Structure 1
C-alpha cells in the first residue's frame, strides 16, 4: 500500500488541482500522519488479548508464516487496492497528492503495527502464529472474529524470526 500511495501522490502532484499544490500537499501530509497513527493503533487491544491467550502450538497445528498470509491477503484484495489507487489518483484533480499520501499513510501504519508486534514477540520470546483453518474463514484477517487465539512457538522454532521475517542462518564453512 505504501508504494501505491507514493506513486499516486507523485502523479497527483503534477496537476495543480482545484485548491492548488501547496494546500493539497500540506493537507496530504496531515492525512498521512493521521492515517499512519490510526492504522498503527487500531485493534491493538484485540492483538494483545489474542497474544495473552496464546497456547503452545501442537504437533498437528498447521501454522502459516506472516509473509504467506500477507501474500494471500494481497491476492484476495487486489481489486480493492487497485480501486484505492484509482481513487487516490482521481482525487488529485481536486486536492493534489492528498489521496496518495493518505494511502501511503495507511501502508506506513501497517508497517508500524508489524514492527510493534515483532517487538512484542521479542519481549515474550515467543513467535505468534494463526492457525490456517481460522484464517480462511475470515478473509485472511489475522485478528478477525474467526481467530479465537494465537498459537505460539519458541524463537528457535522453524525458520521465522520475530515479526515474521525469515531467520538468517550462518553458513557453515
Structure 2
C-alpha cells in the first residue's frame, strides 16, 4: 500500500503544478538574509522500485547553511541505495511555500553511484520540500529514476539547527 502511494506521488505533484499560478495556494518566499547552520542526517528512502533489494537506510551526515529565506548551501556524505558511499554538494532553492512547507529543488552534484559515470561526480536536480519548526526540521526529496543507473524514490532527511 505504501509503495503505491510513493509511486503515485510524482504524478500527483505533476498534476498539482498548474496550481503554482494560484496565489492562494503557493506563497512566494522573501529572499531576506539569514544565517542558520543545520546538521543533517543521512536519508531514509522509499524506492519506487522496491523489488530490487535497494538500500533504503542511507546513513550519513551532512550540513546545511541557510543564507537567505529561499536558499541554502548543502553538503554531506551518505551510504547510498547501491550500498556505496556517496558525497553531495549543492544548493537548495525554495522560492515558494505551501503553508509552512518550503517548495523548490536541490541543485547538487553527487558521486559514488557505480552505474553512473563509473562512480564519478554528476549533476542532479531534485524536487525538495522542507519543513522547519524551531530547532528541528525535515527535508523531503523526490528523486527521479534515471535509466538503470539511478533508482528513484522519496527520501526523508532529519535536521537539527545548531546556530542562528
Same fold (TM over 0.5): no
Bigger radius of gyration:
1
Report the structure, 1 or 2, having the larger helix content: 1
Structure in which a larger fraction of residues adopt strand = 2
Question: What is the TM-score when the length of structure 1 is the normalising length?
Answer: 0.20
